[in-house]
Structure 1
Amino acid sequence: MTVLISGGAGYIGSHMVLGMLDKGEQVVVLDDLSTGFRSAVPAETPFYDGDVADSDMVARIIRHHDITEIAHFAARTVVPDSVRMPLSYYEANTVKTRSLIETAVLHGVKRFIFSSTAAVYGEPDVVEVDENVAPGPINPYGRSKLMSEWMLGDAAAATGLRYAILRYFNVAGADPQMRAGQSTEHATHLIKVACQAALGLRPSITVFGTDLPTPDGTGVRDYIQVSDLADAHVCALSYLRETGTNLLLNCGYGRGYSVLEVLDAVKRVSGVDFPVIFGSRRPGDPAALIAKADKIRSHLDWRPRFDNLKDIVSQALAWERYEAVRRHAATNGHEATSSASTRQPN
């Protein structure tokens, strides 16, 4: 069996690729490289630079590689951007997902893993959110993902396609072997941005909102380490193969940390007291989102390895150092090449 991983050159998708390869699985990657990086995909892994909505290309990939399963990560994910540019988010996350599901069904794909989000819950009335909480997204990002969930469920009911929907909370950290990490240039992930501030790659970090209804006034989130999250997807695929039963699961650890608690952890791990600026809250951001993660632990053979904020921060910090060195080397190499190319012959 071969698995097509859309968005497999992105942050979470690239870790899914590694997780599958580590299990001896065969994978193929499709990514348009709008936010992903070709270097994040192992050189020996078949790679296609393209759009998930290109039905002809996807159909050729399915036929050529005998694809039986798809793990769909390709999406736009920045909440404030979705508020400013809602139609582009519905295009990328909903319309293109509809196309991918249709192509999968038409060409005999048996199982479909969908990368969803806790943003579908919006601002629930409970602190710990389980899968029975009624969705109520408050931003276009969450709505675009929820609509895709509905489409997948309806398509499965009509065709027999089996699926797993994984709603995950805030993703952070990096592959412990430094094979992959968060490389998106303008990423807004709190831990990544804080680590960059600690390394002097940013002059400061801004806290958006200090008047939220939380213990210290800043947003509270459930942070899940990215390799653990990838493992959850691998386990979900195994479950579908073994049982044929559809899944809807939260992916989180079941505890939350405020923005200030995260910043304190980054300062302690890095040993740097970087500047913090306090600003107003961003539109579309709920005050708190914490997973009730009982279901994923009871249904899957999932054993998180990195359920520790200090470990997650340490990995993220190591990755930012690695990326900084790599960018510096690439820039210096480019400058040396440019100088050589313009040098006049004697």
Structure 2
Amino acid sequence: MKILVTGGAGYIGSFMVKRLIENGDEPIVLDSLEVGHREVVPQEVKLYEGNLLDKEFVKKIFSENKFDAVIHFAAYALAGESMEKPEKYFENNIQGGLNLLDAMKGKTSHFVFSSTCSIYGTPKKIPVSEDESKKPESVYGQSKLMFEKVLFWYDKIYNIKHINLRYFNAAGAALDGSMGENHEAETHIIPNAIIAILENKPFTLFGKDYPTPDGTCIRDYIHVLDLAEAHLQALSYLKDKNTSDSFNLGAGKGYSNLGVLEMVKKVSEKDLQIAYKDRRFGDPPQIFADNTKAKNILGFNPINSDLKTIIESAWKWHSKI
């Protein structure tokens, strides 16, 4: 299949492109390279460098290619920043997506969307199922939920079938250390803890007074390799069933922030200084996935998502760069 991958030069997108090639598909990448990296796009893959907000540019891509499906990763994804620059998030994450959908009309009818567990806010029930109430606590989460609503109506009106994949915490790197996370402004706990060790600096941990066993937040970590595989499964589901749906993508197990830091120390065999700060606004005490639906319907199997494997792969990657 010929697949357009928006954000294909980013962290998760680059793993998706690699997996599509392994599967015998033909990925085409659309990326602004604002946060993505040209060097992670394989030479044999066509790269359109530009912005989804440029409607004519997006239309041109569809006039030059006949796509079987679109996988849409491209988005701003920092919850904290979204509360400071809401217009940036609403414009890019919604209007950019609308431009993509409008270019698809009458041409491409299958769409896989990178959504987020942030749409749930602070859940009432743990683990979180797809039916949990949606109460985002950041503009980022709200923008993703709003675009899920857009997709609902584009299915009804234009027959564009979609899968919403609601990620929990994407993490990890290629098992051989050849690819991994490389954000200019890193916000994720695992790479930041590893970087703190490598640079011999203290790690800043926000909040130690949450109503959890050790007082720190509990999160669900999903290996980027398992995420990429789930997107392949979503494409197959659309091809076979031609129906829209939503799925949680998480390991189905929660780890506390302190538990994650302890595993980083164990894997690296080094100590880590922790500097505690007050809680951040909008951080729920705990959230982890009920992934039963994805397992039963898509065949989702997060085989690489035990915490030790995630951190070992991340350590191997960050020790090299």
Flag whether TM exceeds 0.5 (same fold).
yes
Q: Does 1:136 align with 2:127?
A: no
Residue 206 of structure 1 aligns with an amino acid whose one-letter code is: T
Gap runs ≥5 in structure 2: none
Give the CA deviation at 1:65: 2.2
Name the counterpart of 1:344. none
Name the counterpart of 1:185. 184
Name the counterpart of 1:176. 175
Name the counterpart of 1:256. 254
Name the counterpart of 2:153. 154
Q: Does 1:122 align with 2:121?
A: yes
Q: Secondary structure at the match of 1:165?
A: strand
Residue 308 of structure 1 aligns with an amino acid whose one-letter code is: D
Q: Secondary structure at the match of 2:320?
A: helix
Q: How does 1:74-223 map to 2 (within 5 A)?
A: 74-105=74-105, 107-200=106-199, 203-223=201-221
Q: How does 1:28-67 map to 2 (within 5 A)?
A: 28-67=28-67
Are the equivalent residues in 2 in contact too, given 1:28–1:46 (CA < 8 A)? yes
Are the equivalent residues in 2 in contact too, given 1:198–1:266 (CA < 8 A)? no
Give the CA deviation at 1:28: 0.1
Q: Secondary structure at the match of 1:99?
A: helix
Are the equivalent residues in 2 in contact too, given 1:83–1:284 (CA < 8 A)? no
Residue 237 of structure 1 aligns with an amino acid whose one-letter code is: L
Distance of 1:256 and 1:210 partners within structure 2: 16
Distance of 2:206 and 2:103 partners within structure 1: 41
The TM-score with structure 2 as length reference comes to 0.97
Q: Secondary structure at the match of 2:319?
A: helix
Distance of 2:58 and 2:178 partners within structure 1: 27
Residue 244 of structure 1 aligns with an amino acid whose one-letter code is: N
Are the equivalent residues in 1 in contact too, given 2:233–2:300 (CA < 8 A)? yes
Distance of 1:99 and 1:179 partners within structure 2: 34
Higher-Rg member (1/2): 1
Give the CA deviation at 1:178: 3.3
Distance of 1:60 and 1:185 partners within structure 2: 30
Considering only aligned residues, what root-mean-square deviation do their CA atoms show, in Å? Answer: 1.1
Q: How many residues align?
A: 321
Are the equivalent residues in 2 in contact too, given 1:128–1:289 (CA < 8 A)? yes
Q: Secondary structure at the match of 2:275?
A: strand
Gap runs ≥5 in structure 1: 324-346
Are the equivalent residues in 1 in contact too, given 2:62–2:103 (CA < 8 A)? no
Distance of 2:270 and 2:56 partners within structure 1: 51
Q: Does 1:322 align with 2:320?
A: yes
Q: Compare 56-65 and 119-128 and name the one that shifted more.
A: 56-65
Name the counterpart of 1:299. 297
Distance of 2:153 and 2:52 partners within structure 1: 20
Residue 143 of structure 1 aligns with an amino acid whose one-letter code is: Q
* Counterpart pick for 2:236 among 231, 234, 238: 238
Give the CA deviation at 1:285: 1.5
Give the CA deviation at 1:220: 0.6
Distance of 1:311 and 1:167 partners within structure 2: 22
Q: Compare 80-89 and 57-66 and name the one that shifted more.
A: 57-66
Residue 283 of structure 2 aligns with an amino acid whose one-letter code is: D
Give the CA deviation at 1:296: 0.2
Give the CA deviation at 1:237: 0.5
Distance of 2:319 and 2:303 partners within structure 1: 23
Q: Does 1:7 align with 2:17?
A: no
Q: Secondary structure at the match of 1:245?
A: coil
Distance of 2:212 and 2:159 partners within structure 1: 44
Give the CA deviation at 1:297: 0.3
Q: After the TM superposition, which segments of 4 or more aligned residues of structure 1 sit over 3 Å from their partners?
A: none
Give the CA deviation at 1:186: 1.2
Q: Secondary structure at the match of 1:44?
A: coil
Distance of 1:104 and 1:223 partners within structure 2: 33
Are the equivalent residues in 1 in contact too, given 2:4–2:70 (CA < 8 A)? yes
Q: Compare 303-312 and 116-125 and name the one that shifted more.
A: 303-312
Name the counterpart of 2:17. 17
Give the CA deviation at 1:11: 0.5
Q: Secondary structure at the match of 2:183?
A: coil
Distance of 1:199 and 1:37 partners within structure 2: 23
Distance of 1:246 and 1:177 partners within structure 2: 35
Name the counterpart of 2:69. 69
Give the CA deviation at 1:55: 2.1
The TM-score with structure 1 as length reference comes to 0.90
Residue 12 of structure 1 aligns with an amino acid whose one-letter code is: I
Give the CA deviation at 1:195: 0.9
Give the CA deviation at 1:147: 0.3
Distance of 1:310 and 1:178 partners within structure 2: 15
Give the CA deviation at 1:10: 0.4
Give the CA deviation at 1:204: 1.5
